Structure 1
Amino acid sequence: MTVERILILDDELVIRKALEEQLRRKRLSVCSVSNLSEAEKHIQKDEFDLLFVDVHLPDGNGTELLDRIATMQDPPLVVIITGNGTVESAVECMRAGAFDYIIKPFSSSQIDVLMKKAKDYRQLVKVNQFFAKESVEGAELIGKSVPIENLRSMVGKVAPTEATVLINGENGTGKELVASELYRRSSRRKAPFIKVNCAAISESLIESEFFGHEKGAFTGAIQRREGRFELADGGTILLDEISEISPKVQAKLLRVLQEREFERVGGNKTIKVDVRVVATTNRDLMKSVERGDFRQDLYYRLNVFPIHVPPLRERQGDVLLLAKTFAQKFARKHGITLRGFEEAASRSLSSHPWPGNVRELQNTIERAVILSESGLKISADSLGLMPVMANVNVPAFRETVATPEPVGVGAGSTGYGGSNQVGFPPSTPTSSSTFSSESSVPDFGDEPLPLEQIEKQHILSTLETTKGNRTHAAKILGISIRTLRNKLAIYREDGEFIAGEE
């Protein structure tokens, strides 16, 4: 977080010019004045990050500015300068809101130390403001299967390094929490960890979210704002669902990855940052590159160390362990005492293909806990899982575009037990919501079909029932309209007839 614009208020010309020259050598924008009235005019007109203010001035006491600055929306830091310093006066100034206090004559090294403190403090404040919207809690990777042990091993090897990591996997597998685990086991774990949900931010705003903007850069930009890369300086930035960004932003992001520098929207000052980049995607980015949707050079910059998060169906033995962990957590949350799972419920959990992965399992368990009687075991009926067809083959990871996962923190978890760091929307489709009722499932005959084909035929059949009304169809299917549109786009490429289209 940079300190860029500075105001010096001191009536001694020699002090003012010496301080101004030292700061300008640091390529900072500096304005210097000799009295309070001039200083107030500049403060009304311009934004400043830091003020050096002398106490004894021709037209008053410099500390008078502290009360005025305290009412500003984004107040600058104030360093009090005086030639008659005492401990009592220093304490008084700090209580009034001053950031620091220096006594004349001061050395250039004192100013260097003070500027470093100011930069670090501003970043701390901005990062805390960002995290005020998100509670950050720990999470634990739960599972004993071979795929999850391999995942732990990969995370353990790359976490201590500075390598850029690209995490891929189906929706609901826990990509964001793997990113959090990378952060917690890295050398940057005491520095900021900033997340950007690329799928949840509109194309017109994502550049400003990434790089920040200057005052007046566009309608509504009433003050300068630091972007996520600036907030993450010295730490780690998570680019969640990186495949969703536009080609224009891809080009600017490539420069940040290569040079670790950028300009704010509407600005011309080059800002350098030291960040580690971790990205996630639920798409096959190589296919996106082949279609021209994603820059090849950006893909190779991101894909330095790829990590694949396995779907739940490949984690044999982890389902019941995760289910028990979730059941304990949700029982505490809802004030219910439970005695585990009935045998039929355990069989149902183990045999279900979990197309929604750990997110679906988590939502299923929370619903079952709420439906269960306190003091009893969770029954198969309370799980609400549909019987699994024999020989159903669940499709492996393929390119899909689903409802964006939120950056904010909630009560949910994905692939992890205990407290957690990311919440998932309750509207995420589960097996029981995708196939709304037994009577609505099409008759596919005796020949077993892959689950993907069953889903396709059910979606197309539902769309025919609603006479092409996608909003109504999405509600019946229990999925978002965006998810439905994306699935229909895939079906259209496969040459399928879609009700409501010419």
Structure 2
Amino acid sequence: MAGEKILVIDDDTNILEVIRMRLKSWGYYVTVATDGREAKAALSTTSFHLAIVDLRLSEEDGIELMEEIIRFHPDLPIIILTAHGSIESAVEAMRKGAYSYITKPFNNEDLSFHIENALEKQYVAREVHHLRSQLGEKNGFQQIIGKEKQMERVLEQVSRIAKTECNVSLYGECGTGKEFIARVIHFNSNRSQGPFIIANLRAIPTESQEEELFGCVRGIRANAQGSKEGLISQADNGTIFLDEIGNTSPSFQIKLLRALQEGVIKPVGSAKTIKVDVRFIFASAIDLEKAVNNGTFQRDLFYKIHVAPVCLPPLRERKDDIPLLAAYFLKRFCDVLKKDIIGFTPAAIQRMVIYDWPGNVSELERKVEHAVIIANKNVIATEDLFAGTNAIKNTFNSYKDAKERFEREYLENLLKVSKGNVSTAAKMANRYRADIYKLIKKYHMDPEYYKDPLVPPRDVSNFRRYGRGA
């Protein structure tokens, strides 16, 4: 990432000069400071992408300076410089927010490695902030994101994926926001000026899907007046979002695989192919891997579309977001309907939090809209939200659902604490490694993700390929 701005703070002028020369030779813009006063002056006038701070400054504590910098510049990654005898202090600095540390004397490879990784982290954080500020409330971004860590991770993945040309698969229950995330990817990609076409395959009869997507020539259909351009052709130089991809026939899947492999489509009834330049984003509410094993989904197509999987969590796993999203919807519908409602009763908020939300964010949006319409007071009560529904029945999960939720959360915590080391996780759980791998595969988790949270999860459909030695 040549061209990034780096601040280096060290009271040893010889080391400062060595680092400055190395970084400049790698194409970075470098500012140096010998103490906190000079560093803070530089930070007040320049937006840096990275800071390198010596742990042992003669006039002040490097950790205290680091903490002050983080307090005012929370997105700025900091690399600590330390001697071998101060590694324990460097580890303490990382607990307090440092990105990493380098021991003196360091070589070019170590320095370059740490800098590139830290800048990558800063780039992702910048992209996530860009997505939030660019979309903002006017595009309904708050409808989906909230503040839960799970959705923050989704944004981190999206920021990495958007600028690439790879196929994307979005997984999640109905109402979790798959179409919205597809729009985010398109409008932050290099194809943002091209068309964005939506094809809800569940809404298209199976026998008509090939004609709708690939087009057809004159005379192929009864009552047809002429040839018809398919939705894929309409998305040329842009993006097509194929929702509910699992709801397709084997013949459709074969034609789609060819389109993905060769970049060509053949309209129904035509002997000629049409070249297309389209990015595909897929969505599914069903487990496509199970569909492959059941013989209802083409295995080759699954591997072709499962390049960059993004999993959207259900709303019941984002309890802290529910009051935030409800407040957002309340304000929006009050503005539209010209009603003066100031909030929800505590009982209404409690019921929303314990409710299971089978329809996810979409269901929450509709319930708040309905409540705003029927409410006759300046606060929304429980009966305004859940009148005439079986909400109480839905506040409890089935035994199977509760067990699976516990397993999923337990496994996630194991992998977090063990930093993705499956052997360590198995020892902590007092289980065999094979048991842990079985759960990992069941819940589509990737141990590598917990070693580096910014690495997009891989395909975990067959852990035998890389399970050994994890």
Which interval holds the TM-score relative to the shorter structure? 0.5 to 0.7
Counterpart for residue 381 of structure 2:
379
Counterpart for residue 140 of structure 2:
139
Counterpart for residue 321 of structure 1:
324
Aligned with 2:347: secondary structure?
Answer: helix
Counterpart for residue 193 of structure 1:
196
Q: Quote how far apart the aligned CAs of 1:232 are.
A: 0.5
AA aligned to 1:225 is K
- 1:176 and 1:397 mapped to 2: Cα distance? 30
Q: Per-residue CA shift, 1:282-314, capped at 9, x if unaligned?
A: 000011100100000000011011010100011
- 2:402 and 2:244 mapped to 1: Cα distance? 19
- 1:138 and 1:188 mapped to 2: Cα distance? 19
Counterpart for residue 487 of structure 1:
none
Is the alpha carbon distance of 1:267 and 1:397 closer, same or farther for their aligned partners in structure 2, counting shifts above 3 Å?
Answer: farther
AA aligned to 2:242 is L
Is the alpha carbon distance of 1:275 and 1:328 closer, same or farther for their aligned partners in structure 2, counting shifts above 3 Å?
Answer: same
Q: Which has the larger radius of gyration?
A: 1
Contact 2:206 / 2:249 at 8 angstroms: preserved in 1? yes
Q: 1:231 aligned to 2:237?
A: no
Contact 2:196 / 2:239 at 8 angstroms: preserved in 1? yes
Q: Quote how far apart the aligned CAs of 1:353 are.
A: 1.8
After the TM superposition, which residues 421-436 of structure 1 pair with which residues of structure 2 at under 5 Å, given as runs?
none
Q: Quote how far apart the aligned CAs of 1:139 are.
A: 3.3
- 2:330 and 2:242 mapped to 1: Cα distance? 31
After the TM superposition, which residues 180-329 of structure 1 pair with which residues of structure 2 at under 5 Å, given as runs?
180-329=183-332
After the TM superposition, which residues 405-424 of structure 1 pair with which residues of structure 2 at under 5 Å, given as runs?
none
Q: Per-residue CA shift, 1:136-184, capped at 9, x if unaligned?
A: x833143001111111111111011001001011111111111111111
Counterpart for residue 401 of structure 2:
395
Aligned with 1:307: secondary structure?
Answer: strand
State, as a whole percentage, how many aligned pairs show the same letter: 39
Aligned with 1:225: secondary structure?
Answer: coil
Is the alpha carbon distance of 1:249 and 1:391 closer, same or farther for their aligned partners in structure 2, counting shifts above 3 Å?
Answer: closer
- 2:166 and 2:403 mapped to 1: Cα distance? 25
- 1:267 and 1:221 mapped to 2: Cα distance? 15
- Which of the pair has the greater relative contact order for Cα pairs under 8 Å at 6+ separation? 1
Q: Quote how far apart the aligned CAs of 1:268 are.
A: 1.7
Contact 1:254 / 1:298 at 8 angstroms: preserved in 2? yes
Is the alpha carbon distance of 1:266 and 1:397 closer, same or farther for their aligned partners in structure 2, counting shifts above 3 Å?
Answer: farther
Contact 2:291 / 2:297 at 8 angstroms: preserved in 1? yes
Between Structure 1 and Structure 2, the one with more helix by share is 2
Pairwise CA RMSD: 2.0
Q: Quote how far apart the aligned CAs of 1:334 are.
A: 2.1
AA aligned to 2:140 is A
AA aligned to 1:395 is D
Q: Quote how far apart the aligned CAs of 1:209 are.
A: 0.7
- 1:296 and 1:367 mapped to 2: Cα distance? 43
Contact 1:169 / 1:397 at 8 angstroms: preserved in 2? no
Is the alpha carbon distance of 1:198 and 1:388 closer, same or farther for their aligned partners in structure 2, counting shifts above 3 Å?
Answer: closer
- 1:318 and 1:205 mapped to 2: Cα distance? 40
Q: Quote how far apart the aligned CAs of 1:216 are.
A: 1.1
Q: Per-residue CA shift, 1:168-208, capped at 9, x if unaligned?
A: 11111111111111111111111000111111111221111
Aligned with 2:233: secondary structure?
Answer: helix
AA aligned to 1:194 is I
After the TM superposition, which residues 439-478 of structure 1 pair with which residues of structure 2 at under 5 Å, given as runs?
none
Is the alpha carbon distance of 1:335 and 1:226 closer, same or farther for their aligned partners in structure 2, counting shifts above 3 Å?
Answer: same
Aligned with 1:181: secondary structure?
Answer: helix
Counterpart for residue 32 of structure 2:
none
Is the alpha carbon distance of 1:259 and 1:335 closer, same or farther for their aligned partners in structure 2, counting shifts above 3 Å?
Answer: same
- 1:219 and 1:159 mapped to 2: Cα distance? 41
Aligned with 2:401: secondary structure?
Answer: coil
Query: Given the two structures, how large is their TM-score scaled by the length of structure 1?
Result: 0.50
AA aligned to 2:225 is I
- 1:241 and 1:396 mapped to 2: Cα distance? 26
Q: Per-residue CA shift, 1:34-61, capped at 9, x if unaligned?
A: xxxxxxxxxxxxxxxxxxxxxxxxxxxx
- 1:161 and 1:390 mapped to 2: Cα distance? 41
Q: Quote how far apart the aligned CAs of 1:388 are.
A: 6.2
After the TM superposition, which residues 20-59 of structure 1 pair with which residues of structure 2 at under 5 Å, given as runs?
none
Q: Per-residue CA shift, 1:218-261, capped at 9, x if unaligned?
A: 21221122111111010001000000010011110110010010
Q: 1:363 aligned to 2:366?
A: yes
- 1:303 and 1:160 mapped to 2: Cα distance? 17
How many pairs are equivalent? 261
Contact 1:197 / 1:241 at 8 angstroms: preserved in 2? yes
Is the alpha carbon distance of 1:396 and 1:168 closer, same or farther for their aligned partners in structure 2, counting shifts above 3 Å?
Answer: farther
- 2:403 and 2:250 mapped to 1: Cα distance? 25
Q: Quote how far apart the aligned CAs of 1:281 are.
A: 0.3
Is the alpha carbon distance of 1:397 and 1:326 closer, same or farther for their aligned partners in structure 2, counting shifts above 3 Å?
Answer: farther
Q: Quote how far apart the aligned CAs of 1:355 are.
A: 2.0
- 2:394 and 2:364 mapped to 1: Cα distance? 19
Q: Quote how far apart the aligned CAs of 1:389 are.
A: 7.7
AA aligned to 2:401 is P
Contact 1:168 / 1:309 at 8 angstroms: preserved in 2? yes
Contact 1:166 / 1:302 at 8 angstroms: preserved in 2? yes
Contact 2:174 / 2:285 at 8 angstroms: preserved in 1? yes
Contact 1:260 / 1:272 at 8 angstroms: preserved in 2? yes
Q: Per-residue CA shift, 1:423-452, capped at 9, x if unaligned?
A: xxxxxxxxxxxxxxxxxxxxxxxxxxxxxx
After the TM superposition, which residues 324-343 of structure 1 pair with which residues of structure 2 at under 5 Å, given as runs?
324-343=327-346
- 1:246 and 1:397 mapped to 2: Cα distance? 34
Contact 1:207 / 1:265 at 8 angstroms: preserved in 2? yes
Contact 1:351 / 1:388 at 8 angstroms: preserved in 2? no
- 2:403 and 2:245 mapped to 1: Cα distance? 17
Specify every segment of 5 or more residues in structure 1 that has no aligned partner in the other structure, as ranges. Answer: 1-136, 399-502
- 1:196 and 1:318 mapped to 2: Cα distance? 29
AA aligned to 2:363 is E
Q: Per-residue CA shift, 1:380-399, capped at 9, x if unaligned?
A: 2211163368864583899x
